[in-house]
C-alpha cells in the first residue's frame, strides 16, 4: 500500500454514536424494531478532529449527546486509546458495532505487535468477508505515531491524501477549519481545539466540552 508522508496530517471524524456507559462509551445512533414500534436511542452528531504536526498527533471530541433536537448529555467522553495507549481511535456508527470493531482491532494490534497498518488491513479483510461483521454500517479513524487511517466496511483502508479527512455528520465544518489552521503557528492540540470551537459555532450538534488526547508522533 502506497503511503505519502506530509508535514502535518489531519483527520476529522464527525461521528454518530450511542452514549453507552456515558463517559466511557462512544455516543451513537441505534434503533430497535419490535413489531411496528421503533425505539430511538440517544443520537450524537459530533466532530473528532485529529491533527499531526511537529512531532505530536492529537485527537479531540466534543461532549454533546442528543435525542432528536434535545440535548441529553453535554460532557460525554468520545476519545479512545487502543493498543496499550499507542493508538487513538474515533468511530461513526452504533455503540455495539463500535465496541465490537474496536475489540477486534485491539486483538489485531496484539497479534501483529502494535503494527497499526497491518492490523487495520487484517481487520478490514474480516470486516468485508465475515458474515456478521459485514452487516455493520460504520467507519473508523485510527492513528498512531506514524500514520492516520480510515477504515470502512467495504474493505477500504485509506491514508488521506495530504493527511486530511472528514467522516460523519458535521465533520466537514471541523475539516475545513483544521485545513485552514494547519499551516499556521498553532500546534496540533491547539488546532484540534480551535477546529472544534469553530465547528460548534456552525453545527448545532457540536458543543464546547472538548476532550483532547495526544501522542508523540514519528
**pLDDT tier at 93 (50, 70, 90 boundaries)?**
low
- Lowest model confidence (mean pLDDT) among 29-33, 167-171, 202-206: 29-33
What value does the mean pLDDT of the chain take? 75
Name the least confident of 18-32, 56-70, 178-192, 204-218: 18-32
Residue 46 confidence (pLDDT):
53
Distance CA 92, CA 128 (A): 17
Q: Which residue has the cell 500546534?
A: 187
- Asked if 32 contacts 39 with a C-beta cutoff of 8 angstroms, the reply is yes
- According to DSSP, residue 102 is labeled H
Q: Distance between the two ends of the chain, CA-based, in angstroms? A: 19
**pLDDT, average across residues 107-129:** 93
Mean pLDDT in residue range 75-99: 81
List, for residues 129-162, the tens digit of each pLDDT value: 888 887 777 778 889 999 988 888 788 898 877 6
Number of H helices, E strands in the chain: 4, 14
Amino acid at each position: 500500500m502506497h503511503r505519502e508522508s506530509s508535514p502535518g496530517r489531519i483527520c476529522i471524524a464527525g461521528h454518530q454514536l450511542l452514549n453507552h456507559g456515558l463517559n466511557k462509551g462512544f455516543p451513537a445512533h441505534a434503533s430497535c424494531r419490535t413489531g411496528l414500534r421503533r425505539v430511538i436511542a440517544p443520537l450524537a452528531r459530533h466532530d473528532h478532529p485529529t491533527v499531526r504536526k511537529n512531532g505530536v498527533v492529537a485527537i479531540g471530541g466534543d461532549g454533546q449527546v442528543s435525542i432528536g433536537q434535545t440535548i441529553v448529555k453535554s460532557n460525554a467522553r468520545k476519545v479512545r486509546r487502543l493498543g496499550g495507549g499507542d493508538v487513538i481511535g474515533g468511530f461513526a456508527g452504533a455503540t455495539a458495532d463500535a465496541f465490537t470493531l474496536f475489540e477486534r482491532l485491539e486483538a489485531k494490534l496484539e497479534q501483529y505487535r502494535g503494527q497499526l497498518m497491518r492490523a487495520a488491513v487484517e481487520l478490514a479483510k474480516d470486516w468485508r468477508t465475515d458474515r456478521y461483521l459485514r452487516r455493520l454500517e460504520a467507519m473508523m479513524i485510527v492513528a498512531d505515531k506514524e500514520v492516520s487511517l480510515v477504515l470502512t466496511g467495504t474493505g477500504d483502508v485509506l491514508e488521506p491524501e495530504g493527511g486530511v479527512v472528514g467522516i460523519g455528520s458535521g465533520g466537514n465544518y471541523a475539516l475545513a477549519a483544521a485545513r485552514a489552521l494547519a499551516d499556521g503557528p498553532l500546534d496540533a492540540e491547539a488546532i484540534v481545539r480551535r477546529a472544534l470551537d469553530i465547528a460548534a459555532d456552525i453545527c448545532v450538534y457540536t458543543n464546547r466540552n472538548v476532550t483532547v488526547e495526544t501522542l508523540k508522533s514519528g
